[in-house]
Amino acid sequence: GNSVTQMEGPVTLSEEAFLTINCTYTATGYPSLFWYVQYPGEGLQLLLKATKADDKGSNKGFEATYRKETTSFHLEKGSVQVSDSAVYFCALSSSGTASKLTFGTGTRLQVTL
Amino acid sequence: DADVTQTPRNRITKTGKRIMLECSQTKGHDRMYWYRQDPGLGLRLIYYSFDVKDINKGEISDGYSVSRQAQAKFSLSLESAIPNQTALYFCATSDPRTGGSGELFFGEGSRLTVL
């Protein structure tokens, strides 16, 4: 079956530090990959996505590249801000599952001044 | 106003009580979902519905039931709540016509505590 593995948090960084949150997946076929973000007290919202190998998703300074050879979709940002403090979820949707996402366990990011 | 609205936002109840969580959406999407979020477990799919006449079980449907009253409304019921159903519940919608590959739109969540 499908599965998503994320690095455990919490991750604590100083403002302007470089961020990497690792995500690897197991899936049949050719999944689409997503990063969702959950700010405190809110629901999840899509941050970025990639639908095929070597695609790079990007949004709000965050990037992730779909690496089929390593089954990975690591989230990166060059310079984090306090406002980036949130929980980040990696997820996949494989062909035939029609928008039923499989989520990772989430990684909490805390950015301090 | 939020596109996906959940009620109640917080609920405390006792073991054995019947609880209904409601979700309504103004996005015009056909597909609706109920997820449960637990610390360290991420989100797990309870039920999903692709239209009013289509209801499907997710990975953790035991102890839950749903009703799709209209395209815009999808309710989750716990017939006899138990403490391990204490969790944060999310409703979500999607439109297969836009991208087709699984962007979900989430409500703000309903926090349920079963004592």
Give the per-residue pLDDT at A98.
Answer: 56
Interval B2-25: pLDDT, tens? 699 999 999 999 999 999 999 999
Interval A21-53: pLDDT, tens? 999 999 988 889 999 999 988 889 999 999 889
- With beta carbons under 8 A apart, name residues in chain B contacting A104: 42
Q: What is the nearest CA distance from B50 to chain A, expressed in angstroms? A: 9
d(CA B99, CA A48): 13
Give the per-residue pLDDT at A100.
Answer: 77
The closest alpha carbon to B15, from B106, B82, B110, belongs to: B82
- Cβ pair A51:B101 closer than 8 A: yes
For residue A35, give the chain B residue with the closest CA.
B103
What is residue A16's DSSP assignment?
A: T
Give the per-residue pLDDT at B45.
Answer: 93
- Cβ pair A44:B90 closer than 8 A: yes
d(CA A104, CA A31): 14
A83 three-state secondary structure: helix
Give the per-residue pLDDT at B21.
Answer: 98
B93 three-state secondary structure: strand
3-state SS of chain B: helix, strand, coil percent to 5? 5, 55, 40
> Could you tell me whether strands A102-103 and A86-93 are parallel, antiparallel, or unpaired per DSSP bridges?
antiparallel
Give the per-residue pLDDT at B102.
Answer: 67
Interval B63-113: pLDDT, tens? 999 999 999 999 999 999 999 999 999 999 998 776 556 689 999 999 999
Give the per-residue pLDDT at A97.
Answer: 56
Interval A62-99: pLDDT, tens? 999 999 999 999 999 999 999 999 999 999 987 655 56
Partner-chain residue, chosen from B31, B101, B106, that has the shortest CB–CB distance to A44:
B106
Identify residue B19 by its one-letter amino acid code.
I
Please tell me if residue B40 touches chain A, with a CB cutoff of 8 Å: yes
What is residue A63's DSSP assignment?
A: E
